[in-house]
Amino acid sequence: MATPNDEAVIVDLHNDLILLVDHFDHRGRPEHFSEFWLPELRAGGVNVQVLPVFVEAQFQSEGALRRTLLLIERIHRLASRHPEVAVCLTGAEITAAVSAGRIAFVIGLEGAHALGQDPALIGTMYRVGARVVSLAHLGRTYLADGSGFDDTSRGGLTSQGFEVLAEMERLGIVFDISHLGMAGVDDVLSRATRPILASHSGCRAITDMHRNLTDDQIKGIVGLGGVIGVAAAIPPFIDPARPTAARVVDHIEHIASITSIDAVALGPDFVDDYYAEVHGGRMVIVGVDQEFVDAEIRRPSDLPKITEEMLARGFSEADVTKVLGANAMRVLDAVMGVGEQA
C-alpha cells in the first residue's frame, strides 16, 4: 500500500553529507557518494537535499573563504559525475529535476564564515550557487553571534550582518535562522520581510537548550511565512535521554499546536557518520554537558519512521505530506533565486 513517503516530494533542509564526500574524495574513494549516500537518500525518499557548507573550526578564520569555495566546487563536481542529482538555483529548477527523477541539490552556507567582514561577498556566494544561508554557527562571526554565546554576550546582528540580510532578500537567498543567538533571532524577525527558514532546530518548550526556538520565535518565523525544519537526528535538540521518532513528532506536534501544520518541515542534520569517520566520536555541542544516546533517526533511510509515527497519531496524509516537503518547498519556491523586484 502506498504511503505519503511514496507520493510526497520529500525535502531535507539539512544534511552535512558533503563533508564526508570531501573526506573520502581526498582519500581516493570517489565512489563513497554512489555507494553510501545515494542509496540512503533513495531509501529515505529524499527528492530535495539542502547541502550546507560547514567550515570546520581550523578553517574559520584565515581559511574560511577558500574552504567554502572548495566545498561548493565539490558539490558542483559531484553533480557533474552523477546524473541522478542536479544542483538547482530556483524552485522551478527543483521541480524540473524532481520531475525527471533526479535528486535536487540546493547549496547552503552554515555560518557564512567565508564572508568575513565583507558583505559584498554574499553576491559572490549567490553567483556560485548558494541559495540558503545562515550567519553564524555556535560561535561568533563578523556578522552575528551564534547561540553558543547566549550565556555571555547575547550579541545580535552586526552592521555587516544587517547588510547581508538586506542583500539576501534583494537577491533571493533564503535566510536560515538556525544557530543564531537570541538577540540575533530578534534582530532578524524585526527586519526580515520575506519568508525564512529555521533549517534544523527544535522547540525549547520540549527540550530547553540554547539551539532550540522559543514559542515566540517560532510564531515570529511563521508570521513571515517561514517554516521550521525539525532537527530529528541530533539527540540534544530532541531529547538527550529519548531521541526517538516519537519525540521528533512531539516537536512537530508542538509547532503545529502553537501555529499551524503549515509551519513544520524536516531538517534532520545527519552528521553522525562524518564525526565518527573523521573525528572518531560524536559532535561536541557548546553548552551540552549531559550524556546522550544515539538518535533513532540517524540516516535518511530512517525518515519513514517519522511518517509512521505521524500516521499512528492520527495526522492526515495531507498533513504528513506538508511536513515531508510541501511546506519547505513553499519557502524555496517563493525566495530561491527570486529577487525582490521579481
pLDDT tens over the chain, length 342 residues: 567 777 799 999 999 999 999 999 999 999 999 999 999 999 999 999 999 998 876 666 778 999 999 999 999 999 999 999 999 999 999 999 999 999 999 999 999 999 999 999 999 999 999 999 999 987 788 899 888 767 777 788 999 999 999 999 999 999 999 989 999 999 999 999 999 999 999 999 999 988 899 999 999 999 999 999 999 999 989 998 899 999 999 999 999 999 999 999 999 999 888 888 887 766 666 655 656 688 999 999 999 999 999 999 999 999 999 999 999 999 999 999 998 764
Q: Which residues pair with 230 in a beta bridge?
A: 201, 266
The cell for 243 is 531521541
The DSSP letter of residue 263 is G
Query: For position 274, what pLDDT does the model report?
Result: 82
* Residue carrying C-alpha cell 531529547: 239
Domains of the chain plus CATH, in order, are 4-335 (3.20.20.140)
> Under DSSP, is residue 325 helix (H, G, I), strand (E, B) or coil?
helix
> Under DSSP, is residue 302 helix (H, G, I), strand (E, B) or coil?
helix
**Axis crossing angle, helix 159-171 with helix 182-191, rounded to the nearest 10:** 50
The type of residue at 70 is: L
Residue 131, φ and ψ in degrees, nearest 5:
-130, -10
Residue 52, φ and ψ in degrees, nearest 5:
-75, 140
**Total Cβ atoms within 10 A of residue 287:** 14
Query: For position 17, what pLDDT does the model report?
Result: 96
Half-sphere exposure of 107 (CA within 13 A, CB side): 25
The DSSP letter of residue 278 is I
CA angle 141, 195, 116 (to 5 degrees): 15
Query: For position 211, what pLDDT does the model report?
Result: 87
Pairing of strands 85-87, 130-133: unpaired
**Residue 279: burial class (beta carbons within 10 Å; 0-12, 13-18, 19+):** exposed
User: Residue 195: in which H helix or E strand, if any?
Assistant: none
DSSP annotation string for 304-316: HHHHHHHHHTT--
Query: For position 193, what pLDDT does the model report?
Result: 97
**Total Cβ atoms within 10 A of residue 102:** 18
Query: For position 201, what pLDDT does the model report?
Result: 97
Residues 6+ apart with CB under 8 A from 90: 336, 337, 338
DSSP annotation string for 97-135: HHHTTPEEEEEEEES-GGGTT-TTHHHHHHHTTEEEE-S
Pairwise CA distance, residues 45 & 301, whole Å: 8
Sign of CA dihedral 19, 108, 59, 269: negative
